[in-house]
Amino acid sequence: MRLNIILLGPPGCGKGTQAKMLTEKYHIPQISTGDILREAVKNKTPLGLEAKTYMDSGKLVPDDVVIGIIQDRLKQPDCEKGFILDGFPRTVVQAEALDDTLKTMGKKIEHAISISVDEEELLRRLTGRRTCRSCGAMFHILFNPPKKEGICDKCSGELYQREDDKEETIRNRLNVYNQQTAPLIDYYQKKELLRTIEGVGKIEDIFRKIEEVLGENEAS
């Protein structure tokens, strides 16, 4: 059974951590749109060079270019047993284009897993992050606090809250995610591929829930 997985979830839900654990257990690659775009640009592939012209001028890379780059990536031998798409698709239009692309390759999405976390919990996780101005070390005022408040354990540099980690910025990011992704969740629900996992608790417990979902899907 192939494990062709789409991982959905808002910023701060722990999606990246779970994707890494899935990669280690099932030996399938985690495919992040940002990573493969950068890789295609670095390798100067035809689609990578096309993407670069948009990126250099600060524009969004068009869907057809992104889909083409993802198609190239999915043809690699390490995707034979499956793959985890992280950060793509972001819209229903992209999801439909992905389905068409996979169909031509004789593949399909087997699992759409949505990691759900309450917005206030996401804010607690994301606004608590602190970064050292000197060495870049990361701390969290609740989950990984420094020994001395506001001071880096490693180099005694000043800890600060990045603009990206401020409440207003995070609320905006969550709003954008919700606007884009609500229709996407509906899309995969109609296809009976969506499984929602509660992303609160120990990392290992959340991973166990995902394993159970994959087991259910494989048995059905």
Active site residues per annotation:
15, 90, 129, 162, 173
Residues 6+ apart with CB under 8 A from 112: 5, 6, 8, 188, 191, 193, 194, 195
**Cα gap 174→73, rounded to integer Å:** 28
Residues 6+ apart with CB under 8 A from 167: 123, 127
Pairing of strands 111-116, 129-132: unpaired
Using only the alpha carbons of the chain, give its radius of gyration. Answer: 19
**The dihedral sign for the CA sequence 121, 13, 93, 64:** positive
Residue 48 neighbours by CB distance under 10 Å: 21
Residues 6+ apart with CB under 8 A from 44: none
